[in-house]
Chains A and B, each alone.
Chain A
């Protein structure tokens, strides 16, 4: 005989657990706790009640005769939780979830105290590829289940409490193609990690179709914390120290100094050299220093290290001999020719970063509120770099009546960047210097002294013509001048919030109306100071973004009979986007030093660049779910969108999704060791619209010429006949857990095909355009995802949890425009390009290759490698073969130790750093001894030279020794090797996170009222790259977020972070 059992579900802090599921084990009754944690369920004595909730360990209680229960759930971060937040914020029991969704608890991303919580997802979700660049505050690439679109974004959609949260990168095309500029980071990082309750990753289209077009790339669904009854205060304070990872930086040679080689020796002389007897030094009198006979002078213009062998007995005039700054002991003097005591690795600093947060929540009969504040101040490993974030969030609900609730949240964030790292091939990227063009005789500390002692002057080692008094830089500025004078600064003020009204006219109907806004103003200011190698300038880019969403959602939930439950929803959404920007720059230089305003332009400034991009998408959607005995679920949704970016008449598209699941374990009474088992299958389509302004052509107005108007056609031909892009996807999965959930797995196979891709394709320039918009071709992704979790040991005092995520994606480009076999996505310096190639995974790296004989590199009759002249050989692919993560967590009493190992296998990266740097002779392998035991840089006559590994055209092993004295650039670099030589395997195994935390025992805490808890933690991030195949750099680094990955130029070293954090709960 069943009776009504009621009760309350609380967490360890005595606060209600909203939405916790209560069900009768092996029965049909199921219910959820309300906001106050209260529940009611029909059960009979002897039944086992199962209590479950997101982020809490499942608890079973055997019912006696009691009718009022108080249940306490213990928090845990398990990957296989019982209730999952799905699209539109609907919570579903795990039994009735017909598609892949993986949950990550909020504490998982906040515990490492990384100000960008997105990075904290790495390795924790199967199928989610997170790529973190090494530069401070740079943008994170977030791709779920592979690349689906060729030229449109593939970034997953972020949704916070049901509202899309913009993650657009504001990087310029130039920055993303390696030409320089700054990476202004991921906008998704504008969220307070401490406010995140849970993250639900909806991987496939079926799960996310209700979010419309943007959901084709999957959704990262973020649920922020809900306030609970009672008052809670959490205070966090942390500090962390960073240091650069030596394995990701250059190993230099310290034997030879400046020059590109002395040129060939002819009759004992070096006629192509610099004039000194050995050809490595300039040779001229220096009357300004009282020297009237020729002196040895370092060729300061030569940004390479294939010069004279260091010899402390040799006195030469180096750059500092010509730099007349206070406190320079070497002015006018020759100094010993030795390797610099401080090579560029001494440029890095050990930054100290801080974070502080306060989170307050509370609630009573009629409402709840939460208030959070977070401040982080992150410093980088380069001098004068800092990103400060201030985030304030407030949320409240109020019950107007029993069936009417209003609520809202507002988040304000302010991000200020100073001295973000220059990227790409540019003088403001100091890594271009350190990795590609450097003289090993130049001492960094001395450059630092020169900069500061001269009062901030650009005293560079790379002087144009010091003999004749021209000490201005020829190619490279003093690196300290770069950091302290040519810095950028930026700020972004963002407001994100929503207001809603929730009306429950009957038990089974809920109506929700919501208005939400995501808007920011951003200012990006860049400059090159007077004295720079570049034309001095100041530029500002003012960006305004606003996304408004108006949502209406009606849900219906009714038990049709004892066994059948029916849920339905009907919704409408109107989305309005506005992006506007004004970019202005000075023209022809700056007048006054140290003054950065447009008014300081030498010439009148050109008209600023204005952009106004607007978009409107209207969508209606409906869904229905039929559940039988909480075991069989059938789910269908359909959505129709109409987007303004498509041509009228072709701008509406409808897409369906259908899914089903069967929680078969319910039938397996005779196998008690099976705690859970479910199969699921689904199919979905999603449509996508076109980029802004891709339909109609407009002209471009240029700067007038002597009063005459100047107008040109654009270089991209827009297309008034575009139609929507489509993705069709299929997914099936099996989830099981055993032995009271001690061990479990979730296996998914998925396949998707995207077609009618809207892409800007290259056109023959002879058409008058460089590119045109078309619908074409298709890309296929299929793969498997596997999550394993287990608790090998579980005792009262000790437990060990392990969690493994692994996914493999087979991506393949099926067809391209007009039967082309290849589409160039980006062309880079170094003669390489990233491409979509038919039959290959997306992101083939093309360039020239070696010529092979019997699989071995062929060497010509001169002893050098033969190289293909075509630059279209496929020499790599940026897409990894698989990615995975292993998370281990050990708990002993109040101590917890956890660590995450993050892995990526396969995928390639091209390094422009070694392409040039090996040619310039700065890397260790370009010097040293050869197989004969002689310095390899000796002339061939003196036993130097190298025998390149390879075979001659007739297949015999090469025996010809070739010169390595830097003639016509070094043997190892780009001149004597094809691009293929600089393509590396980008696999890695990283110790991504390490946490040791200690929570003060409850007994101790009890004596410390009002304190409810104190947690102390030592957190480490990116501590150790356990394995990698890319020398001298972090294989994960790239040019920031975007579709063209697999290229490094001026890469920054990885940063290890160790922090200390204390959390107080009141």
Chain B
């Protein structure tokens, strides 16, 4: 019996080998789940960006990150669920894809997904494990890399990917859950991501930003909503949209719309209101106050929507990157003199794309834009003075920052992380001070509690390099 004894360790109910494409598909889905879910245990960006506030249990709306280990769950999800599987796919592709041209395309796509994932991590925490990440046998205790170094490396990787993609060869096919393996779409997606990443450093490194923005536009960015990076949920659990799972299927009524989002939308007669929320009980638009107890049925909330295909649909799509944001970013690039063109046109394109994306018509958009309060030239600088977290600091007074900032914010609905990043970049719109805040407005997440114990020395070094581990520490690209 001793000869085959060791064979008992072979788990006959779980495979020892797997095809690279199945790892890639699953990593894509994991990533989209994590950035889409509004589950209060893992993703609270919709609360931090003040689209929603909690009705009864208000801890997270008050920036309590620790109670539910939010930083740890977000970190683990992205490194373990997404990055590690993309990494494993990259290791397997050269062996299990016979056509080298196809293998090359697939490697670039997996790499683009990793760049996309790291964009979240590096801009949530600052310094992060990067060069030693996802290699447990070699680096059981991965050291942290400087956030800025990581970011420039990501930009370089993206360039390599864009240059490496070959439209005349195939790729994943249907296993690519974003574009069905269409290489041209991936080139557009990568260039659009490059544009977005370049604009993040527009203040800290305008020279590089301008160069990269122009390269991206020349390479071809999104031209319409048809180009959007959309993940289409099937609607059947576990492949249903996590927003539906957490809001509708769970039967809980945990969130209401905040005044921060609702007031400007009401003031601007925004046509997206009916897609974003329903008016409960009182019948009129009423926004909740951030961080205090808000009786769920007294306030507008996101639980019912007459528009199919929107957030409360189990098959609602999730957006990874869209034409609207690329338009707003280009409007901003014009204002910063990075590119030539009309900021107003880009602004109008962004607003129109967003309204159409949420089920509105071009006419709706035109009517909306025709209002002086929305029209780019006349949009007021401030619906209330811009302030973040605490009064009197970081007020954005530049007109275009306010005008674009507000529309970008409205358009980023349900994409809490992007909204948070936009606010941290443009300092607009103003975030309310919650009812009983645990901390000032978070500029970053604290590191996961587990890092201090499971990766202690490296964590301590990172903490020192960052100047501490508080939410008030600004990331390198922030003004």
- Chain B residues 319-337 with CB under 8 Å of chain A are none
Q: Is A710 an interface residue (CB 8 A)?
A: yes
- Give CA–CA (A181, B415) in the complex, Å: 34
Contact check: which of B135, B174, B456 meets A708 at CB < 8 Å? B174
B453 touches A824 (CB 8 A): yes
Contacting residues, chain B, for A533 (C-beta < 8 A)? 251-252
Residue numbers in A under 8 Å from B2 (CB-CB) = 618, 642
Q: Contacts A711-B26, A772-B140 hold; do A696 and B253 have CB atoms under 8 A apart? A: no
Decide if B239 touches A705 in the complex (CB within 8 Å).
yes
Closest A residue to B74 using CB positions: A765
Instruction: Assess whether A696 is in contact with B9, with CB atoms less than 8 Å apart.
Output: yes
Please indicate which of the listed interface residues B6, B11, B25 has the most CB atoms of chain A within 10 Å of its own CB.
B11
Q: Are B435 and A968 in contact (CB under 8 A)?
A: yes
Instruction: Kindly list chain A residues whose C-beta atoms are within 8 Å of the C-beta of B450.
Output: 762, 764-765, 824
A616 CB to nearest chain B CB (Å): 5
Across the interface, do A764 and B11 meet the contact criterion of CB distance under 8 Å? no
Instruction: Give which listed residue, A612, A698, A717, A822, contacts B136 with CB less than 8 A.
Output: A717
Partner-contacting stretch, out of B78-86, B95-103, B350-358, B394-402:
B78-86
A508 shortest CB reach to chain B, Å: 32
Q: A712–B26 contact, CB under 8 A?
A: yes
Task: Select one of A612, A769, A772, A869 contacting B13, CB under 8 A.
Answer: A612
Give Cα A226 to B129, complex, Å. Answer: 66
Q: How far is the CB of A966 from chain B (nearest CB, A)?
A: 10
Check: B142 CB closer than 8 A to any chain A CB. Answer: yes
A465 to chain B: which residues have CB within 8 Å? Answer: 253, 280-281, 296-297
Is B441 on the interface with A (CB-CB < 8 A)?
A: no
A587, closest chain B residue (CB): B237
- Pick from B16-24, B149-157, B182-190, B417-425 the stretch touching chain A: B16-24
Q: Which of A163-171, A469-477, A879-887 contacts B (4 or more CB under 8 A)?
A: A469-477
- Interface residue? A713 (CB, 8 A): yes
A702 to B26, CA, bound (A): 8
A126 at the interface (CB under 8 A from B): no
Do the beta carbons of A761 and B454 come within 8 Å of each other? yes
Identify which of B25, B136, B175 contacts A772 (C-beta below 8 A): B136
Complex Cα gap A709–B26 (Å):
8
- Which residues of chain A have C-beta atoms less than 8 A from B234's C-beta? 705-706
A644 in contact with B8 given A260-B293, A764-B455 (CB within 8 Å): yes
C-beta contact mask, A804-834 vs B, less than 8 Å → 1, else 0?
0000000000000010111110010001000
Q: How far is the CB of B283 from chain A (nearest CB, A)?
A: 11
Contact of A762 among B137, B249, B454 (CB under 8 A): B454
Tell me which residues across on chain B come within 8 A of A769, comparing CB atoms.
80, 84, 136
Q: Is A612 touching B251 in the complex (CB atoms < 8 A)?
A: no
By the criterion CB–CB under 8 Å, are A699 and B6 in contact? no
- Interface hub of B1, B21, B139, B453 (most chain A Cβ within 10 A): B453
- The answer on a CB contact under 8 Å between A642 and B13 is no
Inter-chain contact A767/B9, CB cutoff 8 Å: no
Inter-subunit contact A644/B15 (CB<8 Å): no
A959 interface residue (CB < 8 Å to B): no
What B residues does A464 contact at CB under 8 A?
251, 253, 297
Say yes or no for B374: interface residue by CB 8 A criterion: no
| Neighbouring B residues of A511 by C-beta, 8 Å | none
Q: Which of A261, A707, A713, A717 lies at the interface centre, i.e. has the most chain B CB atoms within 10 A of its CB?
A: A713
| Interface assignment of B267: CB less than 8 Å from any CB of chain A | no
Contact check, A713 vs B139: say whether CB atoms are below 8 A apart.
no
Known: A761-B454, A768-B79. A711 touches B72 (CB 8 A): no
Are A711's CB and B19's CB within 8 A?
yes
CA distance A768 to B88 in the complex (A): 10
A708/B136 in contact, CB under 8 A: no
Does the CB pair A768–B25 fall under 8 Å? Answer: no
Q: Taking the complex as formed, is B128 at the interface, i.e. its CB lies under 8 A from any CB of chain A?
A: yes
A708 to chain B, nearest CB (A): 5
A766 touches B133 (CB 8 A): yes
Say yes or no for B289: interface residue by CB 8 A criterion.
Answer: yes
Which residues of A lie under 8 Å from residue B19 when comparing CB positions?
709, 711
Quick check: A703 and B239 within 8 Å, CB to CB?
A: yes
**Closest CB-CB distance, B80 to chain A, in whole Å?**
5
Flag if A767 contacts B134 (CB, 8 Å).
yes
Distance, CA A824 to CA B451, complexed state (A): 12
Residue B449, interface by CB 8 Å: yes
- Decide if A768 touches B83 in the complex (CB within 8 Å): yes
B67 at the interface (CB under 8 A from A): yes
In the complex, whether A352 has a CB less than 8 A from a CB of chain B is no
User: Which of the 9-residue segments A29-37, A41-49, A645-653 touches chain B?
Assistant: A645-653
Which residues of A760-796 have CB atoms within 8 Å of chain B's CB atoms?
761-770, 772
Min CB gap A1036→B, angstroms: 28
- Which residues does chain A contribute within 8 Å of B85, judged by CB atoms? 712-713
Give residues 436-461 of B contacting A (CB, 8 Å): 436, 448-456, 458
Would you call B18 and A699 a contact (CB within 8 A)?
A: yes
- A892–chain B nearest beta-carbon distance, Å: 60
- B147 CB, min distance to chain A CBs, angstroms: 14
Contacts of B132 in A (CB 8 A): 766
CB-based contact B129/A764 at 8 Å: yes
Indicate whether A535 reaches chain B with its CB closer than 8 angstroms: yes
Pick the residue among A695, A708, A770, A820 that contacts B80 (CB under 8 A): A770
Contacts A762-B454, A768-B133, A768-B134 given; indicate if A712 touches B81 (C-beta within 8 A): yes
CA A696 – CA B249 in complex, angstroms? 38
A474 touches B9 (CB 8 A): no
Whether A712 and B249, one on each chain, are in contact in the complex, defined by CB atoms closer than 8 angstroms, is: no
A1056 to nearest B CB, angstroms? 36
With beta carbons under 8 angstroms apart, the residue of A475, A612, A820 that contacts B456 is: A820
Q: Which residue of A lies closest to B27 (CB)?
A: A712
Q: Contacts A587-B236, A648-B6 known; A467 to B177 CB distance under 8 Å? A: no
Residues facing A in B177-225 (CB within 8 A) are 177
Complex CA distance for A818 and B280, rounded to whole angstroms: 55
> Which residue on chain B has the smallest CB distance to residue A966?
B293
Most chain A CB inside 10 Å of its own CB: which residue of B5, B76, B298:
B5
Q: Are A713 and B436 in contact, CB atoms less than 8 angstroms apart?
A: no
- Against B, the Cβ 8 Å flags (1 = close, 0 = not) of A247-278 are 00000000000001101000000001011000
Q: Is A588 an interface residue (CB 8 A)?
A: yes
Q: Does residue B29 face the partner (Cβ distance < 8 Å to A)?
A: yes
Chain B residues positioned under 8 Å from A693 (CB to CB):
9, 11
Binary contact track B266-293/A, C-beta < 8 Å → 1, others 0: 0000000000000011000000010011
**Would A700 and B456 count as touching, CB distance under 8 A?**
no
Q: Are B292 and A272 in contact (CB under 8 A)?
A: yes
Q: Report which of B23, B251, B293 forms a contact with A711, defined as CB distance below 8 A.
A: B23
Decide: B453 and A763 in contact? CB cutoff 8 A: no
CA distance A423 to B362 in the complex (A): 54
Taking the nearest CB of chain A, how far is it from the CB of B21, in angstroms? Answer: 8
Query: Is residue A604 contacting chain B, with contact meaning CB distance below 8 A?
Result: yes
Q: Distance in Å from the Cβ of A441 to the closest Cβ of chain B?
A: 18
Smallest beta-carbon distance A968→chain B, Å: 5
State whether the Cβ of B238 lies closer than 8 Å to any Cβ in chain A.
yes
| CA A263 to CA B58, docked complex, whole Å | 14
CA distance A258 to B175 in the complex (A): 52
| CA distance in complex: A822, B298 (Å) | 47
Bound-state Cα–Cα, A534 to B281, Å: 24
Instruction: Specify which chain A residues have a CB less than 8 angstroms from the CB of B453 in the assembled complex.
Output: 762, 820-824, 872
Most chain A Cβ neighbours within 10 Å, of B16, B72, B175, B455: B455
Per the 8 Å Cβ criterion, residues 158-184 of B in contact with A are 174-175, 177
Contacts A764-B451, A766-B133 known; 13 new A-B pairs at CB < 8 A: A263-B292, A587-B236, A588-B240, A702-B238, A709-B19, A717-B137, A764-B141, A764-B454, A765-B448, A766-B129, A767-B140, A768-B83, A968-B58
Q: Can you list 11 A-B pairs, Cβ within 8 angstroms, ordered by A?
A: A301-B253, A468-B281, A474-B251, A618-B2, A696-B16, A710-B22, A712-B23, A712-B85, A715-B80, A762-B450, A762-B454
Please give the residue numbers on chain B whose beta carbons come within 8 Å of chain A beta carbons, in ascending order: 1-2, 5-6, 8-19, 21-23, 25-27, 29-30, 56, 58, 66-67, 69, 72, 75-76, 79-81, 83-85, 87-88, 128-129, 132-137, 139-142, 174-175, 177, 234, 236-240, 249-253, 280-281, 289, 292-293, 295-298, 435-436, 448-456, 458
